[in-house]
Amino acid sequence: MKQATQSKQYEKINAFLIFFVIVSCQIGVGIHGFQRVIYEEAKQDAWISVVLSFILAHIVVFIMFKTLEKFDGLDIYGIQKEVFGKILGKFLNLLYVIYCTFAFFAVLKNYIEVVNTWVFPYVNARFIAIAILLIVIYAVTGGLRVIVGISFFSFFFLLWIPPVLIFPLYYSNPNFLLPIMEDWAGILRGVYLMSFTIVGFEILNIIYPYIKEKERKNANKYAQIGLLATFFLYITIMLITIMYFSGPQLERVIWATLTIFNIIEFPFVERIEIITICLWLLIVLPNLCLYLWAAYRGVSSIFKIELKKFIWIFASIIFIFTFIIRSRTEINTMNNYFGQISFYVVFVYPFLLYLFASIKKRRRKGTGDSS
């Protein structure tokens, strides 16, 4: 328990920075092509799936904070050991580390595929992987405050997206949004499939102890505002995409967002999507850094290991996996598996953990144990 609660004063962050962490975590490679996946299930009601998925996300974040507040100063790794005991707790911590590693690899591999397809088709994917991993290693060795600082600055690289989305509106047809609420089963399946796109906010479970004690009561508010900001971006992109493409077209487009950017031309820039993809590394970087850091926190809760040593071991494992998954089919399969796992880890497990944590607290009060 002590290990989970120890965080030096210079490592603490202000609560308002949680807003930037949430936004940077939720906006990554998934935004490039989430529309097709949701549209295949919900059709023209795909935007409703986006709305419902974010409503669920707001509820999950609220439950996360309620659980964290019960064990003030502990992250999810410490809470799991407190609630489930040392042996089962360490096993669950290991599973959470595997999830963070899987999330890191999914983000990295999807971004590399986009770069290979749109910008550098003849550059070896493993060379791109090495370059990105070295950047991530350099950032994470600076500690949590450096990672949060990257999240802060990456937010400003997103501000150009809403104004640019005005251009496709000239070619949009609002009739493509009709009829509304035609298939509720498809809408709910769309909500389920949105899990891969909007996960990332679960990092709150690890970052919470590093928020300054006096400001923790405001952290939930900033997290909810962060969710609203990402919701605005996702719903805007989804609505414009549905109105821009016909149904059969959208079902054939892999990266709908990048395809929309492809129509935009300026006198000084002919292909804006190339600049977008290159700049997107600064947006993806916080995703990678936070998942790596979260994995380290989990491993350090099981046995002692230095950060620098762990980072190199972690990066080596990730690099080896880049040899295993190569083709688009394999990446799609990986994304499907990760989407299924992330749904249960991010949207289901917090309710179960809150339930078991509440039972644990009540039993302690019943026995007069205030520890």
pLDDT tens figures, 255-267: 999 888 888 777 7
Residue 35 neighbours by CB under 8 Å, 6+ apart: 46, 237, 238, 241, 242, 250, 253, 256, 257
CA distance 338 to 105: 10
Sign of the Cα pseudo-torsion (220, 222, 225, 227, in order): negative
| Topology of domain 13-360, CATH | Amino acid/polyamine transporter I (1.20.1740)
Higher pLDDT, 91 or 279: 91
The pLDDT assigned to 227 comes to 97
Residue 182 has pLDDT above 50, yes or no: yes
The pLDDT assigned to 9 comes to 65
What per-residue string of b and e applies to 47-59 under the rule 16 or more CB within 10 Å gives b? bbbbbbbbebbee
pLDDT tens figures, 91-112: 999 999 999 999 999 999 999 9
The pLDDT assigned to 370 comes to 46
Instruction: Label residue 170 by pLDDT band (50, 70, 90).
Output: confident
Instruction: Label residue 320 by pLDDT band (50, 70, 90).
Output: very high
Q: What three-state secondary structure class fits 211?
A: strand
pLDDT tens figures, 208-237: 999 998 788 899 999 999 999 999 999 999
Mean pLDDT, rounded, of the chain: 90
What per-residue string of b and e applies to 355-371 under the rule 16 or more CB within 10 Å gives b? eebeebeeeeeeeeeee
The pLDDT assigned to 268 comes to 67
Residue carrying the six token digits 């092509």: 33
For the question of whether the overall pTM of this predicted structure is more than 0.85, the answer is: yes
Residue 53 has pLDDT above 60, yes or no: yes
Residue 257 buriedness (CB in 10 A; 0-12 / 13-18 / 19+): buried
Instruction: Label residue 2 by pLDDT band (50, 70, 90).
Output: very low
Residue 1 has pLDDT above 50, yes or no: no
pLDDT tens figures, 284-316: 999 999 999 999 999 999 988 999 999 999 999
Residue 171 neighbours by CB under 8 Å, 6+ apart: 244, 263
CA distance 22 to 217: 17
